[in-house]
Amino acid sequence: MIEKDIEREVIIEKTTIGIDVGGHYIKYGLVSNHKVIEFHRLKTKREDILSSLIYIIEKYKKELISGISIGFPGFVRNGVVTSPPNLPIKNINLKEEIGKIVRFPIVVENDANLYALGEAFYGVGRHHRVVVLLTLGTGVGGGIVIDGKLFTGSIGFASEFGHIVMNTEGPVCGCGMRGCLESYIGADRIIERYKGLLKKGISTSEKNVESVKDIVNAARNGDRLSIYVLNETGIMLGVGISTIINILDPDIVIIGGGIAKARNLILKATKEEVNRRIIRKVPIVVSTLGDKAGLLGGHILLKNGTKPLTFPNSP
Amino acid sequence: MIEKDIEREVIIEKTTIGIDVGGHYIKYGLVSNHKVIEFHRLKTKREDILSSLIYIIEKYKKELISGISIGFPGFVRNGVVTSPPNLPIKNINLKEEIGKIVRFPIVVENDANLYALGEAFYGVGRHHRVVVLLTLGTGVGGGIVIDGKLFTGSIGFASEFGHIVMNTEGPVCGCGMRGCLESYIGADRIIERYKGLLKKGISTSEKNVESVKDIVNAARNGDRLSIYVLNETGIMLGVGISTIINILDPDIVIIGGGIAKARNLILKATKEEVNRRIIRKVPIVVSTLGDKAGLLGGHILLKNGTKPLTFPNSP
């Protein structure tokens, strides 16, 4: 009996709900003892995200939960989700809303920040002092972990890697400016560039391209236009990462997000570009935790709070 | 008698020699109780910098010194000065060399890093959490102070703001790459641009331009070409600072170095460009400590070491 009680206490202390809200899917599950012990995907109901969050919390209400972490795209500060790109939400104090229905600690944080924390503590970023993560998808996000602590800057605006200026005369970005990194390597831009070259009459084996995934698959089958476009994407990513290295001098740069699945079709060129520009070698590696990184990052943030974090002894 | 002894102890604890080695001048002096109490300039003997350092140390050998800080341009790590731009030095372990002649603590650090520390503790950066400093001169350097601690990245390579990529097709930089920030706003590049426009037949009241100072003076006298060139410099600086803000989200951006003396002839355009690109307001201000910043930064680094720093109660 005593043993069982002790076990329960451990669970009480450590099991957290992790939720990672994306434009297409909400990923969620339970994290216990530094592991994701349950993992699910839910289609994002764009018009009613709060009801999905409540559904998840209700689902686990019989579990012994010690906290909940929610990752959201875009700018998040003090629990307030400002205006996530691609989601019809504006200035919701999510911490307050969720706080009305549960009594355990809640953290609401930018999704890429939680992703970075997850990788820094449980993924390829382990044992590194300065960890930089870039997420490649529709947008380009990122996170910075320094000495095991999330670095979010003065007001939570840091690691907006998508808006590094690559070229003042470059393509117009979603933010209204020209030549941001995102305006070159955001998913839609990769597809646009592909279609643009197609229009110019460059031959390809794959004409029905609807997603970067299609381009990646075509490239894997040897389609030269697809290989070219992904290689060019890799070069631009390399230029952006070079600027990041010149500013942050990280120990490691981790690449996450859907487009990271293209791996060396993009990253070979990226690494070459960085090596050309930066004297010292900085490893550029693909995320190993993928969709679970954000849940694990939320877990460690709940565990350690916002004070300098301590690394768990075992992953 | 007792009182005098106590006074002496205070001096022993707190007086440090500060040395700031530049391409043209070595600035040095004594820092005590958070103040520069003696300040001098010495022409840099480019072929024999070590003898100048020894001269300074000898000069103060009768004082009660508790430490010495030496700032050097370029890459500095663990007391080793690697290859400062514009100085014929390569891989000198300065900490070891100076350690042969003195017994008190020695810190050797990148000059812009010490400058940033000085401003963060004693200058316009006081009471700010995330402080970014850019030094504008022949090269573009910088320093980052986070929560009162110098942030130098993984191996001391951080805050190389001069090599932020502005445009992959831009002018060739001293580093061999194209379109670095320094290739647009380094002192020589500003003069080159001025002369280039002059050759194109654009009229000016000031034809004998040898330095940025000449251009600044001409601009102050209403010369339109000079005003144009400095304005353009300000815009490029603003683009670079926007990228820094997107990555670091600082509380304040401080501008130091000789070219900072142009003040609003450059910085008006800089601020406008940053305001255009960044939603939130980040103050961009000129350094108030100037040549003394590095000595003060060295003083605080000696005082607090490399652990998280504490701010002095009074400046």
Query: Which of B235, B241, B243 to probe the A interface (max A CBs under 10 A)?
Result: B243
- Give the integer Cα–Cα distance in Å for A213 and A194: 12
Q: What is the pLDDT of residue B305?
A: 67
Tens digits of pLDDT across chain B (315 residues): 344 444 444 444 579 999 999 888 999 999 998 899 999 999 999 888 999 999 999 999 887 889 999 999 988 988 999 888 778 888 899 999 999 999 889 999 999 999 999 999 999 999 999 999 999 998 999 999 999 999 999 999 999 999 999 999 999 998 889 999 999 999 999 999 999 998 887 777 777 889 999 999 999 999 999 999 999 999 999 999 999 999 999 999 999 998 999 999 999 999 999 999 998 899 999 999 999 999 999 999 998 864 443 444 333
Q: How far apart are CA A166 and CA A152, in angstroms?
A: 22
Residues of B in contact with A159 (CB under 8 A): 247
Classified by CATH at the fold level, domain B2-110 comes out as Nucleotidyltransferase; domain 5 (3.30.420)
Cβ atoms of A121 and A296 closer than 8 Å: yes
The third-level CATH classification (topology) of the domain covering B124-287 is Nucleotidyltransferase; domain 5 (3.30.420)
Q: What is the side-by-side order of every strand in the sheet holding A16-21?
A: A35-43, A25-32, A16-21, A67-72, A106-110
Task: Give the 3-state secondary structure of residue A42.
Answer: strand
Residues A2-111+297-304: name the CATH superfamily: ATPase, nucleotide binding domain (3.30.420.40)
Say what the pTM is.
Answer: 0.92
Q: What is the pLDDT of residue B62?
A: 81
Q: What are phi and psi of B146, to 5 degrees?
A: -115, 125
CA pair distance A217, B183, nearest whole angstrom:
40
Domain layout of chain A by residue ranges: 2-111+297-304, 124-287
Length of chain B: 315
Interface test with B, best of A183, A184, A249 (most B CBs within 10 A): A249
Which chain A positions have a beta carbon within 8 Å of B159's beta carbon?
A: 247
Question: Would the CB atoms of A247 and B250 count as touching at under 8 Å?
Answer: no
- Residue A163 phi/psi, 5-degree rounding, is -110, 20
Chain B stretch 37-66, residues whose beta carbon is closer than 8 A to a beta carbon of chain A: none
B239/chain A closest Cα distance in angstroms: 7
pLDDT of residue A110: 95
Q: Are A270 and A227 in contact (CB under 8 A)?
A: no
Question: Exposure of A90 by Cβ count < 10 A (0-12 exposed, 13-18 middle, 19+ buried)?
Answer: exposed
Nearest CA distance, A100 vs chain B (angstrom): 31
Is the minimum CB–CB distance between A169 and chain B shorter than 8 Å?
yes
What's the token pair of residue B180? Answer: 């670095």
Judging contacts by C-beta atoms under 8 Å, the chain B residues touching residue A243 are 163-165, 243, 247
Contact at 8 Å (CB) between A87 and A73?
A: yes
Contact B243 A165 (CB under 8 A): yes
pLDDT at A74: 87
**What residues contact B158, with CB distance under 8 A and at least 6 apart?**
A247, A248, A249, B144, B151, B152
Q: Do domains B2-110 and B124-287 have the same CATH topology?
A: yes
**How many angstroms separate the CA atoms of A135 and A112, rounded?**
7
Give the residue ranges of chain A where pLDDT is below 50: 1-12, 307-315
- Contact assessment for residue A250 and residue A244, using Cβ atoms and an 8 Å cutoff: yes
CA distance A88 to A84: 8
Q: Which residues of A touch B248 (CB under 8 A)?
A: 153, 158, 247-248
Secondary structure element (H or E) that encloses residue B2, with its range: helix B2-14
- ipTM reported for the complex, 2 dp: 0.91
B15: nearest Cα among B34, B40, B43, B2 = B34
